[in-house]
């Protein structure tokens, strides 16, 4: 027969277990709105008797075997993968949205409208080459166009600088998260060694890992010892109790990332790929902002070089008009293009005619046709006899080129981020 004390011990174990279960339930309820919290569940098991039992003794009661988190690592991996993609797309969407605002098409104050007015001013001047008012109007139209182009280039440059600042901020935050994850790995290992509950520590670590993968696209692997490893392209960022430093390099050729593996900045491994917010920032800078800026720069350069070539072609020394280019610019055409100072100071220096006939507007008409893309015989002859490879008829028709750039922006936005 079991003793009275044995029966009391069995009852006591049931009360202790029930109290622990109530504590865990209360903990779950209290943290229902806590970010990253995983619901916990009490696992029970009978107390095993280590000595032979006498007849009629059924056992020694119950005990708490474990307080486990109700969490699925597979679901975590899927969610992190989707959050990583979302972070990358969000950054690229914001940049494309900003570019659409910058390009301001269609509107009454767009580049397209300014180019049309510039073309019309050349056309008007070709009809009345001696008109000083037509010349003044052309200078103002040209200055308005170049001001808008420089402003547009500056806005794209400002956007690019914001993206680069975002890259620095994300890298700094990723390094901070990696340090905190490695610190939690140490805490969890110590708690497990002392057989203390680690559910809340693991929740805190998983929340940091969620953010780290969203920022960098890191892959997470759990070890049997309770630690985690976070890798970027196969290179460890967090390896158990050790966190390595993530770095970036921004150059004209593009953005690169690396992990510093030693005490010196030169001890680093270049990353072939990153994801998440970092990957989105890199794509937004290198594949979107800089590419559209380069496309626009190429179109502007072709237009400016073509107009300059026509403006100084077949110059008659006896005409009294100096052979000066209409535009002046440096290597970065989008940042430096402007109307030549000699023309701004004296619109009479605008060349409109061949030979000495001041009523001949063939040069002005050729430039107007070049801008519009309707090439006349003079332009065809000029292109055929040109020794300078700078002049190409394909450099004209700027309105169509501008429309293509803007259309490509819209196509990229719809193609990437809108369902088919």
Per DSSP, the three-state class of 351 is: coil
Predicted TM-score (pTM) of the model is: 0.82
Residue 217 belongs to domain spanning: 76-81+161-286
Give yes or no: residues 247 and 322 share one domain.
no
User: Residue 88 burial (CB < 10 Å; 0-12/13-18/19+)?
Assistant: buried
- Residue 68 has a pLDDT of 80
- Residue 120 has a pLDDT of 94
Q: Mean pLDDT across the stretch 237-253? A: 92
Element (H, E) at 294: helix 290-312
The yes-or-no verdict on residue 2 having pLDDT over 60 is no
The yes-or-no verdict on residue 344 having pLDDT over 60 is yes
Give yes or no: residues 154 and 243 share one domain.
no
With respect to residue 90, please indicate whether it lies within any of the assigned structural domains. Answer: no
Q: Per-residue pLDDT tens for 183-216?
A: 999 999 999 888 888 888 999 999 999 999 999 9
Measured between alpha carbons, how far is 263 from 252 in angstroms, rounded to an integer? 28
Sequence-separated (6 or more) residues with CB below 8 Å from residue 410? 100
Structure tokens at 333: 């055409």
Give yes or no: residues 9 and 59 share one domain.
yes
Give yes or no: residues 282 and 302 share one domain.
no
Name the percent of the chain in helix, strand, coil, to the closest 5. Answer: 60, 15, 30
Give yes or no: residues 396 and 310 share one domain.
yes
Structure tokens at 241: 């109790």
Measured between alpha carbons, how far is 117 from 99 in angstroms, rounded to an integer? 23
Residue 60, CA distances (Å) to 1, 52, 56 in order: 13, 12, 12
Give yes or no: residues 304 and 392 share one domain.
yes
pLDDT confidence tier of residue 51, bands split at 50, 70 and 90: low
- Residue 321 has a pLDDT of 64
With respect to residue 245, please indicate whether it lies within any of the assigned structural domains. Answer: yes
Q: Mean pLDDT across the stretch 142-149? A: 95
Give yes or no: residues 320 and 385 share one domain.
yes
Q: Mean pLDDT across the stretch 77-87? A: 92
338-339 and 327-328 as β-strands: parallel, antiparallel, unpaired?
antiparallel
- Residue 362 has a pLDDT of 87
Sequence-separated (6 or more) residues with CB below 8 Å from residue 3? none
Per DSSP, the three-state class of 154 is: helix
332: DSSP letter: S
Rg (CA), the chain: 36
Last residue of a domain, one of 286, 311, 337: 286
Q: Check residues 45 and 81 and name the one with the higher pLDDT.
A: 81
- Residue-by-residue DSSP string for 175-226: HHHHHHHHHHHHHHHHHHHTT---HHHHHHHHHHHHHHHHHH--EEEE-TTS
% of the chain beyond a pLDDT of 70:
86
pLDDT confidence tier of residue 12, bands split at 50, 70 and 90: confident
Helix axes 398-417, 290-312, angle to 10 degrees: 170
Element (H, E) at 269: strand 268-271
Measured between alpha carbons, how far is 85 from 143 in angstroms, rounded to an integer? 44
- Residue 420 has a pLDDT of 43
Q: Mean pLDDT across the stretch 25-32? A: 83
The yes-or-no verdict on residue 55 having pLDDT over 60 is no
Structure tokens at 339: 């109307």
Structurally, how many domains does the chain consist of?
3
- Residue 290 has a pLDDT of 92
The yes-or-no verdict on residue 30 having pLDDT over 90 is no
Q: Per-residue pLDDT tens for 317-342?
A: 555 667 799 999 999 999 999 999 99
Q: Mean pLDDT across the stretch 297-318? A: 83
Q: Where does residue 187 fall: left (phi above 0), alpha (psi -120 to 50 degrees), or beta otherwise?
A: alpha
Question: Tokens 């270049």 correspond to what residue?
Answer: 270
Tell me what the pLDDT averaged over the chain comes to.
85
Q: Give 259's Cβ-side CA count (13 Å radius).
A: 23
The yes-or-no verdict on residue 107 having pLDDT over 90 is no
With respect to residue 88, please indicate whether it lies within any of the assigned structural domains. Answer: no
The yes-or-no verdict on residue 382 having pLDDT over 80 is no
Do 206 and 188 touch, CB atoms closer than 8 A?
Answer: no
Sequence-separated (6 or more) residues with CB below 8 Å from residue 88? 217, 275, 276, 277, 279, 280, 283
Give yes or no: residues 218 and 265 share one domain.
yes
Give yes or no: residues 315 and 399 share one domain.
yes
Structure tokens at 233: 């392209």
Query: Residues 59, 64, 67, CA angle at the centre, nearest 5°?
Result: 160
Give yes or no: residues 155 and 64 share one domain.
no
Give yes or no: residues 278 and 369 share one domain.
no
Measured between alpha carbons, how far is 337 from 152 in angstroms, rounded to an integer? 12
Q: Mean pLDDT across the stretch 387-416? A: 69
Range scoring the smallest mean pLDDT among 49-63, 74-88, 96-110: 49-63
The yes-or-no verdict on residue 419 having pLDDT over 60 is no
The yes-or-no verdict on residue 316 having pLDDT over 80 is no
């Amino acid at each position: 027969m079991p003793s009275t004390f044995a029966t009391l011990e069995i009852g006591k174990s049931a009360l202790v277990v029930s109290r622990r279960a109530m504590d865990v339930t209360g903990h779950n309820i209290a943290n229902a709105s806590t970010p990253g919290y995983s619901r916990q569940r009490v696992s029970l098991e009978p107390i095993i008797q280590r000595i032979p039992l006498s007849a009629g003794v059924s056992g020694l009661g119950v005990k708490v075997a474990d307080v486990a988190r109700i969490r699925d690592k597979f679901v975590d991996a899927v969610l992190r993968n989707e959050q990583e993609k979302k972070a990358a797309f969000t950054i690229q969407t914001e940049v494309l949205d900003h570019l659409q605002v910058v390009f301001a098409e269609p509107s009454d104050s767009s580049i397209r409208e300014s180019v049309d007015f510039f073309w019309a001013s050349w056309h008007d001047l070709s009809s009345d080459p001696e008109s000083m008012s037509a010349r003044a109007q052309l200078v103002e139209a040209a200055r308005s166009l170049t001001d808008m182009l420089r402003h547009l280039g500056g806005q794209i440059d400002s956007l690019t600088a914001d993206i680069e600042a975002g890259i620095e901020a994300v890298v700094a935050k990723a390094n901070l998260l990696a340090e905190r994850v490695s610190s939690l790995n140490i805490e969890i290992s110590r708690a497990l060694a002392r057989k203390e509950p680690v559910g809340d520590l693991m929740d805190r670590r998983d929340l940091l890992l969620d953010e780290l993968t969203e920022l960098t696209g890191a892959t997470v692997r759990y070890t049997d010892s309770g630690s985690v490893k976070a890798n970027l392209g196969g290179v460890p960022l967090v390896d158990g109790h050790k966190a390595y430093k993530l770095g970036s390099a921004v150059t004209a050729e593009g953005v690169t990332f690396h992990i510093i593996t030693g005490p010196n900045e030169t001890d680093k491994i270049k990353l072939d790929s990153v994801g998440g917010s970092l990957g989105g920032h890199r794509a937004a800078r290198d594949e979107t902002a800089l590419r559209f800026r380069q496309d626009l720069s190429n179109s502007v350069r072709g237009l400016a070089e073509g107009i300059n070539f026509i403006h100084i072609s077949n110059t008659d020394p006896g005409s009294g008009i100096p052979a000066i280019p209409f535009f002046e610019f440096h290597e970065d055409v989008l940042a430096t293009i402007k109307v030549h100072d000699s023309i701004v100071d004296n619109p009479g220096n605008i060349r409109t005619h061949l030979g000495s006939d001041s009523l001949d507007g063939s040069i002005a008409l050729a430039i107007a046709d070049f801008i519009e893309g309707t090439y006349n015989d003079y332009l065809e002859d000029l292109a055929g006899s040109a020794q300078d490879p700078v002049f190409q008829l394909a450099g004209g028709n700027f309105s169509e080129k501008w429309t293509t750039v803007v259309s490509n922006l819209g196509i990229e936005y719809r193609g990437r981020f809108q369902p088919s």
